[in-house]
Structure 1
Amino acid sequence: MPIYLYWGEDDFTLTQAVNQLRESFLDPNWANFNYDKIPPDQPDAVIQGLNQAMTPPFGMGKRLVWLVNTTVCQQCSENLLAELERTLPLIPEESILLLTTHNRPDGRLKSTKLLQKYSVIQEFSLIPPWKTEELVQRVQSCAKDIGVRLTPDAATLLAESVGNDTRQLFNELAKLQLYVGDSAQPLEAKTVASLVTANTQNSLQLATALLHGDGAKALGLVADLINKNEPALKIVATLIGQFRTWLWVRLMISEGERDQKAIATAAEVGNPKRIYFLTKEVQPLSLAQLTSTLRVLLELEFELKRGGEPLATLQTKVIQLCQVCQN
C-alpha cells in the first residue's frame, strides 16, 4: 500500500521509521529528484503533496512525498476531503505518500476514516513515565536489537533513568555498547549507574520525597533536575502519573477492595505484585491528602504552561505538596 500515516509524540522513533521508508523505497542516486518533504506552513500543503504523489518518479526507485505535521486528521474542509477522496485511490504504486502528525487522528472525521481505508497507520506514542513495566520491556527489546546484554536489575535501572525518552535511551545504549566492546558478560546495575544520566529516576525519587513530606530532599532533587536541564513539564508529568497511581491504590483500599488484580487494573499497574508495595507506600496518607496533592500538581502544570519560571514555580509547589503530605 503506497500510503502511510504515522502519528504520536515519540519524534525519535517516528523519525527512524521515516528514514527506514526512505532507505526502502528511494534509490540513493535519484533521491534528490524523488523525495519531497512538505512542511505544514506551505500554502495548500496537502494539495501539493497529493499532486507530487501522482507524479511518476524519475530514474530508478520510487517517489516519496512526506507531509510533515499535517492537520488533515484533525480538521479537513469539504473541498480538501473531495480532493482526498478523488486522489488517494489513484496514487500509483511507484509513489509513497507519508503523512505524519503528533496528535491522535480524530476517528470521527471523514478524512481519518478515508485514511484508515487506504493507508498503513502506525502509532509512535510515548510510554507514560509511571508505567515502569512497559519501560523495562522497551529497554530490554532495544538493548537486544543493539546487542547490549543487561542484567534484570540493570535494565530496570536504565528504564528508571531515561524514562520514556527514546532518544536518550538509544544514546545511553550506544554508550554502553562502546563500553562493553566484545565482552559477552551482561552489564550489572552498578556499571549502568556509573555511566547513565538518571533524570527520570530523580523525578521518581522526587515523588517519593514528596509523599514522605521530606521538603529538604525534595527541594534538592528539584534543583538537581533543573540543573540537568530536565524540562519542568516533564518532571510534572512524572509526578502526576505517580501520584495518580498512589491515589487509585488508596481509593480502592478505602472502598474495601483487597483483590490485587482489581486494584492493578484500576490503577493501570501492569504487574499486580507491585500493589503490595504501593499499598505500603500510601498507608500513612489519607484519601483526602492524596486528592489534594493532585490538585496542587494540576495547579503547578497550569502555572508552568502559562509561562511561570520553572525553578521558582516548582520550589513553591514542592513546599506546598510536602505540607499536604505532612498534615
Structure 2
Amino acid sequence: MIAEWKKIEKKQFAPIYLIIGTEDYIINETKKRLVANILDTEDTDFNYANFDLDETAIEQVIEEAETIPFFGDRRLIVASNPSFLTTEKTKSKIEHRTARFEDYLNEPVDYSILVIIARVEKLDERKKLTKLLKKQATIVDAKRPNDAELRKWIQSAIKNNDFSMEIPAIERLMELTGGQLTTAMNELDKLMLYKLESREISVADVESLVVRSLEQNIFLLLDKMIALDISGALSIYYDLLKQKEEPIKILALIASQFRLLTQIKLLEKQGFSQQQVAQKLKVHPFRVKIGARQAKSFSYEQLTATLERLAEMDFEMKTGYGDKAQRLEWFLFSLQDQRVK
C-alpha cells in the first residue's frame, strides 16, 4: 500500500496533494480514500468539488478551496488535467491566472484539502510554478508498476482480503492483463467474488475467468504457433472470427507483434536489457518480456521474412485478392515452417 494511504486512513491529512502518473487504479483509490476519510456522507454534496482544469480556470478552483465548509469541518477540492504545468499541447482555451494559485500554495487554508491530479509521466520541471507545487504538496506517485511492484500489489490485495493465490496463478493473471495494474486489480476483484467460499484462487480459475483482450489473444495465438499447437492456434483464431473480429484487424495485430519481436531481437543483439528495450521502444515492459520469450524461437532473418509476408497479405486483403479469413488461416498453418529448427 502507498504510504500516504495509511496516513489518510489515520486522518493525517496534508493540505495539498499532487498525484502524478497514468495509473488509474492508484489515482481512483487515492480519491476514494480521501473522500471516505475527509467527508461525512451527509455533507459530501456541500463540501466536495471536482474540476477539470481544461474547462475551469485555476483561480476558480482556489476560490472554491477558500470557501468555508458547510456543516462539516473540511472541504475536499479535486482538480485534474493541469496542462499549464506540462509540456503537452491542449485544445483548451482556458487562460489560467496562476498568481492566486502561487499565493495559495505558499499559504493554504486549514479547512480545505486541495488535490491536483496530473495524468502524465512528469510535469514541466522548468516552470517555477511546478517547482513550488512539488515543494509544497504531498506527492502521490501513480506511475505504472514494474513486474515486481505489480506482483506486490496483487499479493497485498490477496492478503488484505484473506485469500490465497499460488504464484503461477499470480503470474498468469499478470500475463493475461498485460502488466496493467488497473486491469489486474479489476480482474482480481472478480476472481475473489467468484471464489468467496473457498478463498483460494488457482491457475485454472484465472484461465477460465479473466477476460482476454484482443491483443492478449494474439499473444496467446503466437505462443500456440511457436509450440506447434496448430489446433490451439486455429481454435483461438476461429473464436476471434466468431466474436466478429475482422481478419484484416487480426492480421494488423499479428504484424504489430512480429514487428515488436524483430525490434526486440535487434536491440538484444546490441546488448540492451529488456528494461532498456521497453524505454527505447516506448512500450510496456510486460509486452517486451513476452515478446523476448517469443522472439527466441525465430532468427532475425525469419522475423523479417515473416513481416514481408504479412505486408504482402495485407496488400492482398485490402485489394480483394482471395478470401480474407482463409488467407490468414493458411498463414497460421505455414508459420511453423518459419521457426528455428
TM-score by length of 1: 0.67
Is the 2:150–2:181 contact (alpha carbons within 8 Å) kept by the matching residues of 1? no
Q: CA deviation digits over 1:236-289, x for unaligned, max 9?
A: 999968965763454444x5x6xxxx7455446999xx89x9478435321794
1:91 corresponds to: 108
Name the CA distance, whole Å, in 2 between partners of 1:177 and 1:163.
Answer: 20
1:247 corresponds to: 263
Residue number among 138, 155, 162 corresponding to 2:170 in the alignment:
155
Name the CA distance, whole Å, in 2 between partners of 1:68 and 1:222.
Answer: 43
Is the 1:7–1:101 contact (alpha carbons within 8 Å) kept by the matching residues of 2? yes
Secondary structure, counterpart of 1:80 in structure 2 = coil
Name the CA distance, whole Å, in 1 between partners of 2:157 and 2:255.
Answer: 26
Report which of the two structures shows the higher radius of gyration computed on alpha carbons.
Answer: 2
Q: CA deviation digits over 1:72-120, x for unaligned, max 9?
A: 3226999723222222112112111111122232222222112111112
Aligned-partner residue type, residue 97 of structure 1: L
Secondary structure, counterpart of 2:98 in structure 1 = helix
CA RMSD of aligned residues (A): 4.7
Aligned-partner residue type, residue 104 of structure 2: T
Residue number among 51, 54, 79 corresponding to 2:63 in the alignment:
51
- 1:5 equivalenced with 2:18 (yes/no): yes
1:285 corresponds to: 299
Secondary structure, counterpart of 2:85 in structure 1 = coil
Q: CA deviation digits over 1:162-192, x for unaligned, max 9?
A: 22444443333233223333436x4321232
1:33 corresponds to: 46
2:321 corresponds to: none
Name the CA distance, whole Å, in 2 between partners of 1:242 and 1:61.
Answer: 58
| Alignment size in residue pairs | 291
Aligned-pair CA distance for 1:12: 3.4
**Percent identical residues:** 23
Is the 2:47–2:72 contact (alpha carbons within 8 Å) kept by the matching residues of 1? no
Structure 2: segments with no counterpart, 5+ residues? 1-13, 89-93, 279-283, 315-323
Name the CA distance, whole Å, in 1 between partners of 2:305 and 2:136.
Answer: 45
Q: CA deviation digits over 1:295-324, x for unaligned, max 9?
A: x99xx9xxxxxxxxxxx9xx99xx7xx99x
Greater shift, 238-247 or 173-182, is seen at: 238-247
Aligned-partner residue type, residue 153 of structure 1: P
Aligned-partner residue type, residue 163 of structure 1: G
Secondary structure, counterpart of 1:12 in structure 2 = helix
Aligned-pair CA distance for 1:206: 4.3
Is the 2:79–2:115 contact (alpha carbons within 8 Å) kept by the matching residues of 1? yes
Aligned-pair CA distance for 1:63: 0.8
2:139 corresponds to: 121
2:128 corresponds to: 110
Aligned-partner residue type, residue 84 of structure 1: F
1:224 corresponds to: 240
Name the CA distance, whole Å, in 2 between partners of 1:126 and 1:225.
Answer: 32
Is the 1:249–1:267 contact (alpha carbons within 8 Å) kept by the matching residues of 2? no
